[in-house]
Amino acid sequence: MIIPERYKDVKQSDIPKKLLEYVSKMRDTRRGLYIHGSVGSGKTHLMYAIAKIIDDKVTLGGLLVRAYNCAELLQDIRNDFHSVDSYSRKHTLESLLEFKGLLMLDDIGSEKLSDWVLETFYSIVNRRYEDCLPTVFTSNLELSELAERIGDRTVSRVVESCDVFEVSGEDRRLKKHNKIKA
């Protein structure tokens, strides 16, 4: 799995003990995680820390991991549909629907909504729900807010198949921001 440059230095010690307990049982429970909190609270950081320990084959015995930012994933799927190459058309979505490892979807609920977006998320979440495959979601939204954005049917499946973990705290990016005075 490729971890973005910004998150290259994430480590297991970045993960709170309680969350690490859920992660260590993920292969057996087949439950995912819904990690939510305010902007900049560290959700994506946690997601990549989890991905790294799983990808390192320490916790889940070699479970494959794929991580996507939701807006970028939707753009990739959309680009496949518009491709003139019949092989690449629908390749991303079909590949994702057939993926049996740990799927991580960052910033769900932040994308611009359309019927196509709602159907696409439902297809992905429903397939993973039916196959009892763990998925990690991060979002700025509480589950009730996410349901208003992407629909009750989709979120109901997320709730049944995931443990919910709230991240609190200040915006870490703003906290690091250096003010320059002229």
Six-digit token string for 54: 């799983």
Q: How far apart are CA 88 and CA 67, in angstroms?
A: 20
**Sign, CA torsion 148/170/74/137:** negative
Q: Is residue 181 part of a domain?
A: no
For residue 113, being part of any structural domain is answered with: yes
* Distance (Å, whole) CA 15 – CA 33: 13
pLDDT digits (tens, 9 = 90+) for 84-135: 665 554 578 888 999 998 999 999 999 999 999 999 999 999 999 999 999 9
Question: pLDDT, tens digit, for every residue of 149-170?
Answer: 999 999 999 999 999 999 987 7
Is 7 among the domain residues?
Answer: no
**For residue 100, is it within any domain?**
yes
Instruction: Name the domain count of the chain.
Output: 1
CATH number of the structural domain spanning residue 71 = 3.40.50.300
Question: CA 85, CA 81: separation in Å to the nearest integer?
Answer: 9
| 141 located within any domain | yes
User: Domain limits at 67?
Assistant: 17-168
Domain annotation covers residue 43: yes
Between CA 143 and CA 36 the distance in angstroms is 9
In a domain, 90, yes or no: yes
Strands across the sheet with 102-106, in order? 65-69, 102-106, 135-139, 32-37, 162-167
Examine residue 39 and state whether it is found in any structural domain, yes or no. Answer: yes
